[in-house]
Amino acid sequence: MKHRGGNIFLSIDWVTVLIYTVLVILGWINIYSAVYDESHSSILSMSQRYGKQLVWIGIAYAIITIVMAFQARAYSIFAYIVYGLFIIALVLVLIIGTKTNGARSWFVITDSIKFQPAEFAKFATALAIAKIMSSFDFDISRLTFPCIKNMLKIAAVILLPAGLILLQPDMGSVLVYASMIFVMYREGLPGYFLGLIVLVIAVFISTLLYPLTVVITGLLILAELGYFLYRQRIVETAISTGVLVVLFGIMWVTNHFVLHDKFPLDRILLASALVWSALCLGFAYVKKNWAVAVTIFILMGSLIMMFSVDYIFHNIMTQHQQTLINVFLGVEIDPQGTGYNVEQSKIAIGSGGLTGKGFLEGTQTKFNFVPEQATDFIFCTVGEEWGFVGTTIIIALFLTLIIRIMWLAEQQRSAFSRIYGYCVASILFLHLAINVGMTIGMVPVIGIPLPFFSYGGSSLWSFTILLFIFIRLDASRDEQL
Amino acid sequence: MKQYNSHKIYNISLIFIIIMLTYVVKLFCIQVLDSQYKMSAESNVFRRVVDYPARGLVFDRNDKLLVYNESSYDLVAVPNKVPPFDTVDLCNILGISVEAFKAEFQKAVKYAPYKESVIHKQITKQRYSYLQEKMYKFIGFDVQERTARRYEYNGAAHVLGYVREADQKFIEANPYYKPGDYIGVAGIEKSYEEVLRGKKGQKIYVVDVRNRIQGSYMDGKNDTAAVVGKNITSTLDIDLQMYGEELMRNKIGSIVAIEPETGEILALVSSPGYDPNLLVGSDLAINYPKLLRENFTPMFNRAIMACYPPGSTFKPINALVGLQEGIITPSSAFPCNGGFSIGSHVVKCHHAGSLDLVPAIQHSCNAYFCYEFTKIIGDKKYRRADSAYSNWRRRVQSFGLGVKLGSDLSQENKGIIYTKDYYNKFYGEGHWSAFTIISLSIGQGELSFTPLQICNACATIANRGYYVIPHIVKHIEGQDTIAHRLTEHQNTGIDPRHFEPVIQGMRAVCEYGTGRSAQVPGIAVCGKTGTAQNPHGKDHSIFEAFAPMENPKIAVAVYVENGGYGATYAAPIAGLMIEKYLKGEVSRKDVEKRMLDADLIGPLLQNMKQDSVKAAAKKL
């Protein structure tokens, strides 16, 4: 173990700081390229976004100094106060905030000084959650009265800011709070609980967003994967997958060549899934393998839920209600028709190829082909100019950072620091997953920034504070806060 | 420490890694395996052409065209596609100076050099045909067809409203609108903006490097067709409207005419008005500030925004409240000795003798209504004056007085009728009585209503107890009905039988009383004169009327500012409006000529001129 003396410089985790710095610099380079315009060549031009972002980065480092200057204990002591302050800010912004793009999310002081409290509320909530969950005897691992009470407490701490942000409305920022489920899982929430919650939400949302074929396929893969992870029996899993594929193959061929596509694809898939499930249940009965039975029952439950959601949405709800739900899910209604923005985004990323077109050589991420190209869609610039190599490196960097944070969190002596660390990792991951997923069309278009990358002071500073509070806590990892 | 959970880091990490691995696989597919995206990128120069729908037309109740569209053309350009060209030639065709043109072009360069911007708007047909011939010389330019609004008549401006380009602030709040789009900013154009505007369409074309169209993008899958705006039939009778405007020429004030049974507004005159064609296209920028500076505020819609004390036109309302509350019966009489005295103060009356209800309305007896009001406010049922007052106020408001009527015209004024709290605060609780607020009995004091409200109250009397919220739109193309609130009955809660004596009184006003000049041969007109006290000058002349007495077809309110007694100007004008509407033709040419010739603005201007001369002389 490293020597951890009084000098804070020696106890800082420099690996994390290094990854942070690299991400911020790469982000700036891509913003420069996205906004680049031959008629403005000065890097420091304050009229351009890259000039401004350079200033935001400078201020971010000043913020880091301030964050590091506090005692680690201070963050634990003032956790609730900070949380309270940002709840007040979230209330205020609904009253005196300025409406842009249909959401009341900004305090506008002057044209260039703006402030988005929802961004900062993330670290404040993380502090409050860490504080509440680190209290002595905090247990959420069983379904007993005190445990459920604890779960409700956390739910309240999360839902208060989430609800206020929903009123703005800013669906993207609300969604981030869902990441806290990982923190709860780490701190004792049973795995099946996490799995079931995620499954219900996933089935519900994906039924609304994707064709039934995709959802059924996804559920089948999940069933196989879930069983494999639980029992780790590779032969059983492989054989059952093989049976499933063969069943589907036979049915598809019969339908296509004999029945001349009488049934649609989702019916064929469903039929093969049902026959397969029956075989699995038979196997479970013979071998007394209850894990298989449970898996199949969960699969059946999911399929029933999928069909009821699909039926209610398409056959019972009116057009207007459907639109409302789409808006609520954060699916932006595209004025040009279906998925025009996502198509442009995919064209930009796809045109990058293996190694990209090179710095400043991108054409699709300029001229506004891609919307919000310096903010929410900055990943398109990476994809276009740096290619598959670039996108993979960025994803790897983020993943390294996130896993490093969780690893550091496990080293903490104080529960507060550990839980806060998991909050940071989860928030960063959710941002990464939604932002990148939306640019490649795997997640609906939800306005949410890519941490450290996207243009904008509020988002850069809030992620910086979020991360460096943890680095500060980690620097005092042996203290009992 | 909850060490027993520390293995979960592996599960969480695994979940994170699996999700990111699927992303990397997807990226590998679209970036390396699939070449479709590279090809799309190369041909990915789209040109989006907005398809502007024609704005809906507006007709009057007899299907006469009021508002229509005329073709006009906008010159657009993509700045970085424009090679050097003969600027002078183009400017000559457009009829603008080279400097102005260059300024506009620079603006477009600054906005977005690779995007299409409008350089010159609303080119007329003649200039457009010249331009068309020489268009081949101006590479990078294009002409977009737009429409300009035109108004068939030079009146009804306040009702119809006008359109103008949406400003930046509005566009930010309403993403449907883009710079250069037009929106209705007043009258029907504003209230029914969403109906009239239709829906813009968009076509996406794939173009080559030289910006030549190569075909539509994805076979037009993403194109949307424009939806033409819907036509609207107004409730206005344009002949009556124009006649009213003529009668109000050289006078300040307004006329409102309503069909009582339906609440349909037949005419809504605010004088002085303006010609709506002044605010069309590029003329708007020149004429709008001019109209704002003009004397007597022609842009101000007096009919729905100006508040005046109702004066004696309010007496029928007070009579009805008294009848319903059981304070008076039609045969109750109060003594009048030329007035009603409170201490040394006397509310004067122009006749003498003890009167009951019908003659009291006919003679507009102040004393009668003062007595009645003291009994309403002093009603034992309510113990205290302020609760009796509140009840009276509620009854008055049930006629739509002192409340926003909620018509489909924007900027309607609410009028004034204070709550009891106002008087409690002003005089102290329990320190005021009917005598303190006696002016209210004869429609003076702290009462103030718009001409629309008074006309609506008159329509309520005509209907014997209910009104329909006055409205300006009768029918919208493709819709069976207009908004429900504009068709349902608003009941006053006053028994229909109480209306008969009041209406008899109003009939007597026109037969033998103060409103004889509103009499129309062969039609039973019921009316009531009023004189609104004006602290700034001569009193305002008011008249409310409806006709015929049975099955009323029209209710009118006329306001002539500085016109003196209600009988002088307002009554004859109301009579002429009724005659015009019910008979289609005015037979009493002498009355008509007298009203048309009356000039009340001339002397006012004279006074203003003298005042300014005096002020200038003082300065010297």
Can you spell out the DSSP letters for B255-276? EEEEETTTTEEEEEEEES---G
**Band (B43; pLDDT cuts 50, 70, 90):** low
Each as own residue / partner, the long-range contacts of residues A158-167 (CB below 8 Å, 24 or more positions apart, any chain) are A158/A125, A158/A129, A160/A87, A161/A86, A161/A87, A161/A90, A161/A118, A161/A121, A161/A124, A161/A125, A164/A87, A164/A90, A164/A91, A164/A94, A165/A90, A165/A105, A165/A118, A165/A121, A167/A94
Q: Do A442 and B22 touch (CB under 8 A)?
A: yes
ipTM of the complex: 0.83
Query: How many angstroms separate the CA atoms of B294 and B478, rounded?
Result: 41
DSSP A405-441: HHHHHHT-SSHHHHHHHHHHHHHHHHHHHHHHHHHTT
pLDDT in tens, B305-336: 999 999 999 999 999 999 999 999 998 888 87
Contacting residues of B for A202, CB less than 8 Å apart:
none
Decide if A389 touches B, using CB distance below 8 A: no
Residues of chain B found within 8 Å of residue A369, distances taken between Cβ atoms: 44, 46
Relative to beta strand B182-184, strand B117-123 is unpaired
- Please report the beta strands in B139-243, taking only residues with DSSP state E, as ranges in sequence order: 141-151, 163-165, 182-184, 201-207, 213-216, 232-234
- The conformation of residue B33, written as its DSSP 8-state character, comes to I
d(CA A419, CA B303): 68
Render the burial of B596-609: b for 16+ CB within 10 Å, e for the rest. Answer: eebebbeebeeeee
Say if residue A60 is in the same domain as residue A171. yes
Distances (CA, A) of B261 to B234, B488, B506: 16, 11, 19
**According to the model, what pLDDT value does residue A365 have?**
67
Residue A83: closest CA among A40, A111, A117, A125: A125
User: Given an 8 Å threshold on Cβ–Cβ distance, is B2 in contact with A347?
Assistant: no
- B567-593 pLDDT per residue, tens: 899 999 999 999 999 999 899 999 999
Residue B56: per-residue pLDDT: 92
Interface test with B, best of A99, A137, A351, A427 (most B CBs within 10 A): A351
Alpha-carbon dihedral B538, B373, B317, B390, rounded to 10 degrees: 110
Contact check, Cβ <8 Å, B31/A402: no
Residue B364 bridge partners (DSSP): none
Indicate the pLDDT class of residue B113, thresholds 50, 70 and 90.
low
pTM exceeding 0.80? no
Residue B94's H or E segment, with its range, is helix B87-94
Return the closest-CA partner of residue A184 out of A150, A135, A149: A150
Q: What residues in B contact A182, CB-CB < 8 Å? A: 12
Q: Which of A278, A313, A348 is the last residue of a domain?
A: A313
- A37 & A135 share domain: yes
Model confidence at B417: pLDDT above 60: yes
Q: Rounded to the nearest 10 degrees, how much is the dihedral formed by the CA atoms of A247, A248, A251, A252?
A: -150
Highest mean pLDDT among A268-272, A477-481, B462-466: B462-466
What is residue B337's predicted lDDT score, i.e. its pLDDT?
Answer: 74
Helix ranges (H only) for B95-156 are 98-111, 125-134
Provide the 8-state DSSP code for A192: H
**CB spacing of A436 vs B34 below 8 angstroms:** no
For position A3, what pLDDT does the model report?
Answer: 44
| Mean pLDDT estimate for chain A | 86
Which residues 206-265 of chain B have a CB within 8 Å of chain A?
221-224
Please say whether the beta carbons of B130 and B143 come within 8 A.
no
Say how far apart CA A118 and CA B533 lie, in whole Å.
58
Please name the residue of chain B whose CA is at the shortest distance from the CA of residue A98: B173
Are A238 and A354 contained in the same domain?
Answer: no
Give me B429's structure tokens. 């609780």
More confident: A50 or B66? B66
Q: Please give the backbone phi and psi of residue A22, each rounded to the nearest 5 degrees, phi first.
A: -60, -45
Say how far apart CA A260 and CA B209 lie, in whole Å.
Answer: 45
Say which residues have a Cβ less than 8 Å from residue B277's Cβ, sequence separation at least 6.
Answer: B150, B151, B154, B283
pLDDT for residue A338 = 42
Residue A45 predicted with pLDDT over 90:
no
In this model, does residue A481 exceed pLDDT 50?
A: yes
Q: Which of B8, B23, B40 sits opposite A347 (nearest CB)?
A: B40
Do A419 and A295 reside in the same domain of the chain? Answer: no
The residues facing B536 across adjacent strands are: none
Whether residues B224 and A337 touch (CB distance < 8 A) is answered with yes
**Closest Cβ opposite residue A350 in set B1, B16, B34:** B34
Same domain, A258 and A356: no
- Number of domains present in the structure of chain A: 2
Question: Do residue B40 and residue A351 have CB atoms under 8 angstroms apart?
Answer: yes
With contacts defined as CB-CB under 8 Å, which chain B residues touch A367?
114
Handedness of CA A425, A427, A433, A439 (dihedral sign): negative
Residue A348, token pair as written in the block: 């930009």
Q: Which of B22, B23, B106 to mutate to test the interface with A (most CBs of A within 10 A)?
A: B23
Find out whether the peptide bond into A371 is cis, omega within 30 degrees of 0: no
Question: Tell me: the pLDDT tens digits for B377-416?
Answer: 988 888 888 899 999 999 999 999 999 999 999 889 999 9
User: What's the gap in Å between the CA of B227 and the closest CA on chain A?
Assistant: 15
Chain centroid to CA B255:
14
Q: Compare all CA atoms of chain A with the CA of B199 and give the residue at the minimum distance.
A: A335
Size of interface A-B (CB pairs under 8 A): 114
Q: Provide the pLDDT for residue B175.
A: 78
A429 at interface of B, judged by CB pairs closer than 8 A: yes
Query: CA A167 to CA A161: how far, in whole Å?
Result: 10
Give me the pLDDT at residue B603, please. Answer: 85
Pair type for strands B232-234 and B58-59: parallel
So what's the pLDDT on residue A2? 43
**B409 to chain A nearest CA, in Å?**
26
* pLDDT the model gives residue B114: 64
Cis peptide before B548 (omega within 30 of 0): yes
B425 touches chain A (CB under 8 A): no
Clarify whether residues A92 and A137 are in a common domain. yes
Residues A443, A379 contacting (CB under 8 angstroms): no
Reported confidence tier of residue B210, pLDDT bands at 50, 70, 90: very low
- Residue A42 sits in the same domain as residue A179: yes
pLDDT of B596 > 90? The answer is yes
Q: Are A160 and A35 found together in one domain?
A: yes
Confirm or reject contact between B204 and chain A (CB < 8 A): yes
Give the pLDDT confidence score for residue A345 in this predicted structure: 84
Residues near B145 by beta carbon (within 8 Å), at least 6 away in sequence:
B52, B71, B72, B73
pLDDT for B503: 95
- The distance of B180 to chain A (nearest Cα, Å) reads 18
Angle at A15 between CA A122 and CA A413, to 5 degrees: 65
**For residue B136, pLDDT beyond 90:** no
Q: What SS3 class is residue A30?
A: helix
**For residue A181, what is the nearest residue in chain B, using CA coordinates?**
B12
Nearest Cα residue in chain B from A104: B173
For residues A251 and A273, give the distance between their C-alpha atoms in angstroms, rounded to a whole number: 11
Contacting residues of A for B32, CB less than 8 Å apart? 353-354, 388
Is B23 within 8 Å of A354 when comparing Cβ atoms? no
Nearest CB to A353; choose among B16, B31, B222 = B31
User: Scanning every residue of chain B, which has its alpha carbon at the shortest distance from the alpha carbon of A438?
Assistant: B23
Is A299 inside any structural domain? yes
| Best of B2, B17, B28, B31 to mutate (most A CBs within 10 Å, chain A) | B31
Chain A window 436-455: which residues touch B at a Cβ cutoff of 8 Å? 436-437, 440, 442
Q: Residue A347: which pLDDT band, with cuts at 50, 70 and 90?
A: confident
> For the segment A163-206, what is each residue's pLDDT rounded down to a tens digit?
999 888 887 888 899 899 899 989 888 877 777 887 888 888 88
Residue B523 is given by DSSP the state: B
Cα B554 to Cα B557: distance, rounded to the nearest angstrom: 10
Contact yes or no for B5 and A187 at CB 8 A:
yes
Q: How confident is the model at residue B74 (pLDDT cuts 50, 70, 90)?
A: confident
Of A336, A364, A415, the CB nearest to B222: A336
Residues of chain B contacting A130 with CB distance shorter than 8 Å: none
Same domain? For A429 and A297 the reply is: no
Nearest CA in chain B to A396: B20
Please give the single-letter amino acid code of residue B78: V
> B87-96 — which CB contacts under 8 Å span 24+ positions?
B89/B134, B89/B137, B90/B138, B90/B141, B93/B127, B93/B130, B93/B131, B93/B134, B94/B120, B94/B123, B94/B127, B94/B131, B95/B127, B96/B120
Query: Residue B283 is inside which H or E element, if any?
Result: helix B283-293
Phi and psi (nearest 5°) for B405? -70, -25
* A338 close to B (CB below 8 A): yes
Contacts of A340 in chain B (CB under 8 A): 222
Fold annotation for B47-234 = Penicillin-binding protein 2a (Domain 2) (3.90.1310)
| Residue A131 · residue A416 · CB < 8 Å | yes
* A163/A282 same-domain check: no
Is residue A186 within 8 angstroms of chain B, CB to CB? yes
Give the Cβ contact number of residue B336 at 10 Å. Answer: 21
The Cα A53–Cα B419 span in angstroms is 57
Backbone angles phi, psi at A155, to 5 degrees: -55, -40
Provide the pLDDT confidence category of residue B268 given band limits of 50, 70 and 90: very high
One-letter identity of residue A392: T
Closest CB to B16 among A399, A410, A437 = A399
The verdict on A221 and A370 lying in the same domain is: no
- Interchain contact B1–A (C-beta under 8 A): yes
Among A286, A313, A340, give the residue marking a domain's end: A313
Q: For chain B, say whether A363 makes contact (Cβ under 8 Å).
A: yes
Distance CA A386, CA A363 (A): 13
pLDDT beyond 60 at A40: no
Restricting to A residues 397-416, those with a Cβ less than 8 Å away from any Cβ of B are 398-399, 402-403, 406-407, 410, 413, 415
> Pick from B12, B27, B222: which is nearest to A185 by CB?
B12
CA B4 to chain A, closest CA, distance in angstroms equals 9
Closest of B175, B179, B192 to residue B56, by C-alpha: B192
Distance CA B525, CA B544 (A): 10
Instruction: Return the pLDDT at B41.
Output: 65
The reply to whether B329 touches chain A by the CB within 8 Å rule is: no
Mean pLDDT value across chain B = 87
Between CA A426 and CA A432, with CA A429 as vertex, the angle to 5 degrees is: 155
Residue A442 belongs to some domain of the structure: yes
Which residue from A minimizes the CA distance to B204?
Answer: A336
**What percentage of residues in chain A have a pLDDT greater than 70?**
90
Pick A383's closest partner by Cβ from B19, B31, B42.
B31
Q: So what's the pLDDT on residue A189? A: 85
Residue A269 lies in domain: 205-313
pLDDT at A383: 93
Winning range, highest mean pLDDT, from A219-233, B42-56, B233-247, B471-485: B233-247
B7 touches A at CB < 8 Å: no
